[in-house]
Chain A
Amino acid sequence: MKVIEPDQKTKIHLKINGKDYETEVEPRRLLVHVLRDLGFTGVHIGCDTSNCGACTIIMNGKSVKSCTVLGVEADGSEILTIEGLAKDGKLHPIQEAFWEKHALQCGYCTPGMIMESLWFLSQNPNPTEEEIREGISGNLCRCTGYQNIVEAIKEASTKMKANPK
């Protein structure tokens, strides 16, 4: 059993986008702040109340809202953020599809939307429009009206099938 006192900091270890990081946190520190402080500012804070999904990341293979996870809770996890998607200067197919289908305006929701799409497509590689809408129901966009986001995810599913990794 490990006990961390309220005034104490503790070391946590995270693997983020394939690289190892170690950092000291207070128990009350939220994962979203830990990630942003380590430079992963693509992880956005929209609502801070677990509703908007702008802070969505992949933790140990599943999409989660990083504003609703504590840093200490994530100790030892593997994390993927939007910064980890492009490889060798080439965008991920979901990023390409968002670009081509004009699925963003201000872009605030986009990193969370793309991370959720990544998890969703891993679960359902060939989704219908209705399934896509249910799949992104934890992500709010205040600009686009969702139509182009849905089209982009559909397009991404086709791209990813044509070119599986």
Chain B
Amino acid sequence: MYPPKLGYVIAENLEEATDFLEKHEDAKALAGGHSLIPMLKLRIIRPSYLVDIRRISNLHFISPGSDEIRIGSLSTHYEISKANIPLLSETATKIADPQVRNMGTIGGVISQLDPSADYPASLIAMDAKVKVKGKTERTVSFKDFAKDMFTPDLNPGELVTEIIVPAFKDYKFSYQKLERKAGDYAIVGVAVLLKTDGESIKDVRIGLTAVNNTAVRATEAENMLKDTRISEEIIEKASAKVMDYANPVSDIRGSAEYKKKVTKVMAKRAILEALKR
């Protein structure tokens, strides 16, 4: 399989890349290439040019701060897995396989917005923000950025420059992914962040991926757990509530009915696993 004929632009800095992309609406940015190149080989897309943004060094950083962590869009899944970011680093270890993690980038994942991608569950639970730059710069919540599946809030000539997540100190967390075979996209992925005080839960956030067009937060389930004493009963009830937020479709990864049921199972696992840490 060969990609179709295309031009190639090597951008040395952000301005060159955004200018070229704005003037050529049918051009596409190339980050890790691990969504783009497979699609090119299958001839699903036929861009006029690829704009290689891989050499733009100010998109390639992870800077931890005391309140928030800034993650450059070119950070690879491997780099994020090693960065000790609550929840997000663990999520990165569950994406695909080692070779894909060495190439794929977080900016690529959220610009592609595959409904089954892993990061979105965690980014929605974390209230992540996305910094976007074209002619001007703006910052949007990840929730608003992810308009629909495969539909990021990006105008022609705009690139994701960084992702910003709160530091979540003193939070416990877990990302639980069910996959059909090693290295596959999720059947369902559940991200949980929680803060405890002795035997009670003070704060909790639950994000879901792969069971809706975009990632969602199970807010009613969160409310059931907040300010309660930890018990098997309340965890069981809250996990059942998480299931209400799953509206999956039947596909090769399972029937809608199956996916809905395993959402409850994975939610419970994620809550219990987070509590253990």
List chain A positions with a Cβ less than 8 A from chain B.
1-8, 10, 26-28, 30, 48-51, 53, 56, 62-65, 68-70, 72-73, 116, 119-120, 134-135, 137-139
Cα A135 to Cα B34 with chains together (Å): 19
- Assuming the contacts A4-B9, A73-B30, A138-B183, asked whether A49 and B41 have C-beta atoms less than 8 A apart, the reply is yes
> Cβ of B9 and Cβ of A68 under 8 Å apart?
no
Docked complex Cα distance between A143 and B124 (Å): 42
Given contacts A30-B2, A49-B38, contact A64 B103 (CB under 8 A): yes
Interface core residue of A7, A26, A56 (most chain B CB under 10 Å): A26
> Nearest chain-A residue to B50 (Cβ)?
A27
Give A134 to B78 CA distance when docked, in angstroms: 14
Question: Which residue of the partner chain, among B8, B37, B97, contacts A138 with CB atoms under 8 Å?
Answer: B97
Asked if B99 and A53 sit within 8 Å, CB to CB, the answer is yes
5 contacts between A and B (CB under 8 A): A6-B7, A48-B1, A69-B103, A70-B30, A73-B33
Q: B34's closest neighbor in chain A, by CB?
A: A68
How many Å lie between the Cα of A152 and that of B184 in the bound state?
Answer: 25
Q: A1-B16, A30-B3 known; A63 and B99 CB under 8 Å?
A: yes
Residues on the A chain within 8 Å of B182, using CB? 134, 137
Pick from A6, A119, A138: contact of B6, CB below 8 A.
A6
B37: which A residues are within 8 A, CB to CB? Answer: 30, 50, 68-70
Q: Are A65 and B100 in contact (CB under 8 A)?
A: yes
B residues neighboring A (CB under 8 Å): 1-12, 16, 20, 30, 33-34, 37-38, 40-41, 48-50, 52, 54, 78, 96-100, 102-103, 182-183
A53 to chain B, nearest CB (A): 6
Say whether B34 contacts A62, CB under 8 Å: no
- Contact, CB under 8 Å: A68 / B8: no
List, in ascending order, chain B residues with CB within 8 A of A1's CB. 9-12, 16, 20
Decide: B98 and A138 in contact? CB cutoff 8 A. yes
Q: B8, A116: Cβ atoms under 8 Å?
A: no
CA distance A63 to B98 in the complex (A): 8
Please, how many angstroms separate the alpha-carbon atoms of A26 and B4 in the complex?
A: 11
- Bound-state Cα–Cα, A65 to B97, Å: 11
Contact status A53-B97, CB under 8 Å: yes
Please judge, given known A-B contacts A69-B33, A137-B183, whether A3 and B103 are in contact too, CB under 8 Å.
no
A6 to B16 alpha-carbon distance, docked (Å) = 19
Q: Which of B5, B9, B10 contacts A28 (CB 8 A)?
A: B5
Report A60 CB to chain B, min CB distance, Å. 10
Establish whether residues B98 and A120, one from each chain, have CB atoms under 8 Å apart when the complex forms.
Answer: yes
Bound Cα distance A72, B51 (Å): 12
Which residues of B have CB within 8 Å of A50? 34, 37-38, 100
